[in-house]
Amino acid sequence: MIKGLYEAHLPVSNLQNSIIFYKKLGLELAYQKGQVAFFWIVKGESWLGLWESDSVHLKYHPSIRHLAFKIDEEDLEHVKEWLSSLGIEVRTEFGFTPEHQPLVLPNNPHAHAAIYFSDPDGNSLELITPLRLDVDEDLTMMSFEEWRMRQSI
């Protein structure tokens, strides 16, 4: 029945600034009217709704102000350079500084690699890719660089 996630929504304080930011990430503006805009993440499959609001600066919690975009594992090698070229800074997450990201999330029996940054309103954004699924192996959180070295042993 369920085939995927179609939409997610984030509050923004200035819709025009946010439109510029999300276009910079390569998302296509699908619809805009009044204080709302929708961007295609994957056209016809998933989109992001941005809602201009006075109540943007709610205390952060991943359940209300976090969005993860899927990327391919091959993109991890250049993701920091790509974000930097867009003027976007990687932020420290889970104690991992930008220099030590992407990081590997040990969601046993799965592992994902991710990198974290924020939009202009401080909404948490993540670029993430699965590294392995359904492998029962205890891991600790580590940098993706360390993960690759362990995989080559």
112: domain CATH number is 3.30.720.110
Count of structural domains within the chain: 2
Cα separation, 65 vs 58, whole angstroms: 9
Asked if residues 71 and 129 have their Cβ atoms less than 8 Å apart, the reply is: yes
Cα separation, 53 vs 40, whole angstroms: 21
**C-alpha neighbours within 13 Å on the C-beta side of residue 89:** 6
- Tens digit of each residue's pLDDT, the chain (153 residues): 657 788 899 999 999 999 999 999 999 999 999 999 999 999 989 999 999 988 777 776 666 788 999 999 999 989 999 999 999 999 999 999 999 999 999 888 888 999 999 999 999 999 999 998 887 777 889 999 998 888 876
12: domain CATH number is 3.10.180.10
Asked if residues 91 and 118 have their Cβ atoms less than 8 Å apart, the reply is: yes
Name the DSSP letter for residue 142: E
The domain containing residue 48 runs over which residues? 1-54
